[in-house]
Structure 1
Amino acid sequence: MKDIVRIGYLLILAATLLSCGQSEPDQTISPDTTSVDLILTNGKIITVDENFSIQNTVAVDGGRIVATGAESLLDKYQSELTVDLEGKTLMPGFIDSHTHIRGRPQRYIELSDVSSITEIQSLIRAKANELGEGEWVTGYGWSEDELIEGRRPIRQDLDEAAPNNPVTLTRAGGHSAVVSTLALTLAEITNSTPDPEGGVIERDQNGVATGIIRERQNIVGRLVPDSTYDELIASLEINLNALLSKGITSITDASKAPREYAMWEQLYETAALPLPRSAIQFQWFDPEAIAEVKSRVANGTDFLKIGPIKVFADGGFTGPAAYTLEPYVNQGDYRGYLNMPENDLIAHLNEIHDAGWQMGIHAIGDAAIVLVVNTLADALERNPREDHRHYLNHFSMRPPDLTMELMAEHDIHITQQPNFTYTLEGRYAANLDGWRLDHNNPLRSPMEHGVTVAISSDILPIGPMVGLYAAVTRKGMSGQVYGPDEIITIEEAIRAYTLTGAYLNFEEDVKGSLEPGKFADMIVLSDDILTIDPESIMDIEVEQTYINGKLVYKK
């Protein structure tokens, strides 16, 4: 299998050289030049160094950047593998500092591209026929904002497609799910079942369960049979490899159990396909298990390591269950939920901080953000830690200025998803209004307060171009602009999606920019991302992806 992949890699490389117009490799190396493994030249090379300098040529050797500069570098370095970029833009690979990648079982259906409930029903019906009666059908990725019916699917829609199969389909974002009547029955959930702590079993005006469960959908999901190791690791390899076509060369996977790390280790040791670099976040459910993995793997490898500890402070807007300072629009006094009682959350954060771990904390609502920042500031004043790099995932509502000032003072960072402004526009419009709606997923304001802000995807969608587009336009799917005072420049957005993402994982010295000594993780784009009309950013394609100077994807 690996021989086949190796042959495939050579064919890709040959096609790339041909498409770039490269002549036959020069077998003669001048004694006045230094031989390197790879040179890419005649391009617009965005280095993302301190000055955001633009260069023409990059030299790579041993998987790392040797030099970037003008075309005159060709007088200093020579390679048997020299690629003419023909004016194309080359930049560091994207670093998605908050995403979720997993292996999927046979029972799973992918819903991220569906456009109607009818299409969802067709997929359910086909999967049920494939598996047989009584087998669970699972799926992920639907969003009512992208369905032509303009509503969420409910249990009756699932029942119509597969009346004899329990079905649970998670909404994009992971904060709610729709389940079938049979699934509710198997979980012993009735119309009179009380809401689980921190979650909601939605009911219609007559008090009948609709099949929508917010934040605590595992009260049904726990019944789904475990997937086999072989099917999970095989699909995990495919799903990780697929990121390379989007220009993503590094990720932080934002929630895994310590027991899952061994599967990732095996995959990175045996994979036939090229994979991006990964850092894995654990939740603090089993500190002893985390300590065991840490003692065994230490700082990991160049491709796989343990990341920060993940903490969920509140829910999300797809529920909605984000914890807000003021009530949601037209929902009485409802302000969402904390993921655990406030005192427990405060103790949880302090325990992890005192144990010496970095934290990446899910905080979406402004009340959750205020509480988490206050708790971290108190912990840091009580027990100072140099260069802790705690950060907030999401930061979806703009908190009071005082909170951002506190973040800057205590070096509490953010990994933000501006793509939410685009893909979750309907959820924000339904639940927020006025100033709160305009300033969803703020970027400029925390930056101006001195807060370090990275950009990531949280798989809504995974492709970085949506996040870059929303960051520089602040447009939702409808075309409406939200809070233009939160717009950042394309240069700031690129840095946030590359070098700052590396910084959050203490890796800014080895990746995130094209500077000497760093990994040669690079992508070639179809268009000039710095000068293209912002309205066309989402049309930009990744044409080539390199990791360690090796071509791992070609369009």
Structure 2
Amino acid sequence: EWVTGYGWSEDAFAELRKPTRADLDEAAPRNPVTLTRAGAHSAVVNSLAFELAGITKDTPDPEGGILEKNERGELNGIIRERQGIVGRLVPRATLEETRPSFIQNLRDLLELGITSLAQAGVSTRGYEEWEVVYAEHGEELPRANVQIRWGGPERMDAFGKKTGDGDERLRVGAVKVFVDGGFTGPSAYTIDSYRSEPGFRGSLALPEEELRTTIQQAHEMGWQMGFHAIGDAAIQLTVDYFVEALEASPRENHRHYLNHFTVRPPPEVMELMGEHNILITQQPNFTYTLEGRYVEYLEEEHAAYNNPLRSPMDHDVFVALSSDILPIGPMVGIYAAVTRKGESGTVYAPGERLTMEEAVRGYTRNGAYITFEEDIKGTLEAGKLADMIVLSDDLLTIDPERILDIVIEKTIVGGRVVFER
């Protein structure tokens, strides 16, 4: 019987290190084990899991991924980005088995003050499960904009829906593609070598020509594109191909965007983004929770300018804010956006700070703009959806150092109280 889990981080362990194959072998010698790291860019597995997958120390790295080895050349248990080479063996739970926890997870977001979410990528078939859940429970859940993983022109045509289809509770979002990995792997694709691994620059999650073709096809088919790009090399490459597609086939109001934008790219890349209205969804909370990864892997300037906010805005790039999962609630992100502080208290590139008003807009009005919904939500105005939260303190007047103490007192969606403390 498989043992699976999710959410570990080396920062949470007393030893401040990743778990290893040997650790899991000792804990579960008779069961195959796979434990996914928070962020989902790597996993640790035990020897039995490797054995069942037919993976040895001589197995080549999977395309777009890495099988980590120790100083003796033996597998240490960490798989970066391509965890599916083992995960494919884990028996899948049925939708009936997972649906109750799926619904509860969505309900839990209301307690965090989330009235709308953007789900970063499901299959066309997976979207059908969202439709089933929202048809029955939509009135009691946050509104959802669901990004669809690119499956090629034929599958996307067969899906029969495009960006914006749906209703005020559930809509189809952008096409989602992973251009590179992340720093929890680490595998983000960077221009310069990693500070901790000379000569290593991460990797693309797909071949460069496939990325180019995907962008051309998705753009021609009329989809909005929201692509995961963390390293500056991944950002630069994606922007170049976005621009190529837009110049070959101009489209007004396309609202293509990059999700994450962690390593600040060269100024000319941001200039291109401003000129071609390529947007960003940024996660300032990563500055707080992932500072250790940036300091470990990036040279000093890149580490300081992690998750830049002011720089792209100074190049006329539209920036919306979101949370991802580290953590999901918005208060840590607002705190990091206005202070540029990590969890250690270190301040990173203070010139990247936002004002409180800008940070709040980033999580409200600007998020609605990314999903083409600014006419119905994102601000409190007559005729718009009555989605709002009540806080224990006034964000606009509170000492920024107290933002993390703010409590969500009430969450209202469509004029209905869906959470009250």
* The two structures share one fold, judged by TM-score above 0.5: yes
1:165 to 31, 51, 72: 31
Match for residue 283 of structure 2? Answer: 417
Q: Is the 8 A contact 2:260 2:283 kept in 1?
A: yes
Match for residue 511 of structure 1? Answer: 377
> Cα offset for 1:322?
0.8
Q: Is the 8 A contact 1:237 1:273 kept in 2?
A: no
Match for residue 193 of structure 1? Answer: 59
The 4+ residue runs of structure 1 with deviation greater than 6 A are none
* Structure 2 residue 232 is matched with structure 1 residue 353: no
Aligned counterparts of 2:126 and 2:110: Cα–Cα separation in 1: 22
CA distances 1:204-226 after superposition (whole Å, capped 9, x unpaired): 00011111000111100111111
> Cα offset for 1:289?
3.5
> Cα offset for 1:161?
2.2
Match for residue 54 of structure 1? Answer: none
Aligned counterparts of 1:296 and 1:494: Cα–Cα separation in 2: 29
Aligned counterparts of 2:379 and 2:60: Cα–Cα separation in 1: 52
Match for residue 154 of structure 1? Answer: 20
CA distances 1:166-185 after superposition (whole Å, capped 9, x unpaired): 11111111110111111111
CA distances 1:443-490 after superposition (whole Å, capped 9, x unpaired): 011111111001111111101111111111111111111111111111
Match for residue 437 of structure 1? Answer: 303
Match for residue 49 of structure 2? Answer: 183
1:326 to 188, 192, 204: 192
1:531 to 381, 393, 397: 397
Match for residue 209 of structure 1? Answer: 75
- 1:479-490 equivalent positions in 2, closer than 5 A: 479-490=345-356
Gaps of at least 5 residues in structure 2 are none
Match for residue 387 of structure 1? Answer: 253
1:271 to 117, 131, 137: 137
Q: Is the 8 A contact 1:502 1:512 kept in 2?
A: yes
> Cα offset for 1:272?
8.6
Match for residue 235 of structure 1? Answer: 101
Greater Cα radius of gyration, structure 1 or 2: 1
Change over 3 Å in CA distance of 1:243–1:311 after alignment to 2: same
> Cα offset for 1:231?
1.6
Give the residue type in structure 2 aligned to 1:466: V
RCO comparison, higher one (Cα < 8 Å, 6+):
1
Aligned counterparts of 1:336 and 1:296: Cα–Cα separation in 2: 32
* Equivalent pairs, count: 421
CA distances 1:339-384 after superposition (whole Å, capped 9, x unpaired): 1121221111111111111000111000111111111112111110
Q: Is the 8 A contact 1:511 1:521 kept in 2?
A: yes
Aligned counterparts of 1:295 and 1:210: Cα–Cα separation in 2: 43
The RMSD of aligned alpha carbons is 1.5
Give the residue type in structure 1 aligned to 2:410: Q
Match for residue 407 of structure 2? Answer: 541
2:273 to 402, 407, 427: 407
Q: Is the 8 A contact 1:294 1:306 kept in 2?
A: no
> Cα offset for 1:153?
0.9
> Cα offset for 1:249?
0.6
Aligned counterparts of 1:273 and 1:299: Cα–Cα separation in 2: 18
Aligned counterparts of 1:274 and 1:239: Cα–Cα separation in 2: 12
Change over 3 Å in CA distance of 1:297–1:511 after alignment to 2: closer
Change over 3 Å in CA distance of 1:345–1:252 after alignment to 2: same
Q: Is the 8 A contact 2:5 2:35 kept in 1?
A: yes
Give the residue type in structure 1 aligned to 2:11: D
Aligned counterparts of 2:164 and 2:139: Cα–Cα separation in 1: 25
* Structure 2 residue 369 is matched with structure 1 residue 369: no
Aligned counterparts of 2:288 and 2:254: Cα–Cα separation in 1: 32
Helix, strand or coil at the partner of 1:205: coil
2:202 to 336, 339, 356: 336
Q: Is the 8 A contact 1:145 1:424 kept in 2?
A: no
Helix, strand or coil at the partner of 1:376: helix
Q: Is the 8 A contact 2:164 2:372 kept in 1?
A: no
CA distances 1:141-168 after superposition (whole Å, capped 9, x unpaired): 1111222221111122222222222111
- 1:24-35 equivalent positions in 2, closer than 5 A: none
TM-score by length of 2: 0.97
Aligned counterparts of 1:345 and 1:415: Cα–Cα separation in 2: 20
Helix, strand or coil at the partner of 1:248: coil
Aligned counterparts of 1:461 and 1:518: Cα–Cα separation in 2: 29
Change over 3 Å in CA distance of 1:390–1:428 after alignment to 2: same
- 1:444-459 equivalent positions in 2, closer than 5 A: 444-459=310-325
CA distances 1:313-352 after superposition (whole Å, capped 9, x unpaired): 1111111111111111141211110111212211111111
TM-score by length of 1: 0.74
* Structure 2 residue 11 is matched with structure 1 residue 137: no
CA distances 1:40-75 after superposition (whole Å, capped 9, x unpaired): xxxxxxxxxxxxxxxxxxxxxxxxxxxxxxxxxxxx
Match for residue 62 of structure 1? Answer: none
Aligned counterparts of 2:164 and 2:277: Cα–Cα separation in 1: 25
Change over 3 Å in CA distance of 1:454–1:295 after alignment to 2: closer
CA distances 1:410-430 after superposition (whole Å, capped 9, x unpaired): 000000011111111111111
Match for residue 250 of structure 1? Answer: 116
Aligned counterparts of 2:161 and 2:127: Cα–Cα separation in 1: 13
* Structure 2 residue 86 is matched with structure 1 residue 220: yes
> Cα offset for 1:296?
10
> Cα offset for 1:247?
0.6
Aligned counterparts of 2:138 and 2:254: Cα–Cα separation in 1: 36
Give the residue type in structure 2 aligned to 1:294: G
> Cα offset for 1:286?
4.2
Change over 3 Å in CA distance of 1:297–1:455 after alignment to 2: closer
Change over 3 Å in CA distance of 1:318–1:550 after alignment to 2: same
Aligned counterparts of 2:72 and 2:285: Cα–Cα separation in 1: 36
Q: Which moved more, 1:408-417 or 1:431-440?
A: 431-440
> Cα offset for 1:311?
1.2
> Cα offset for 1:435?
1.0
Give the residue type in structure 2 aligned to 1:354: E
Helix, strand or coil at the partner of 1:427: helix
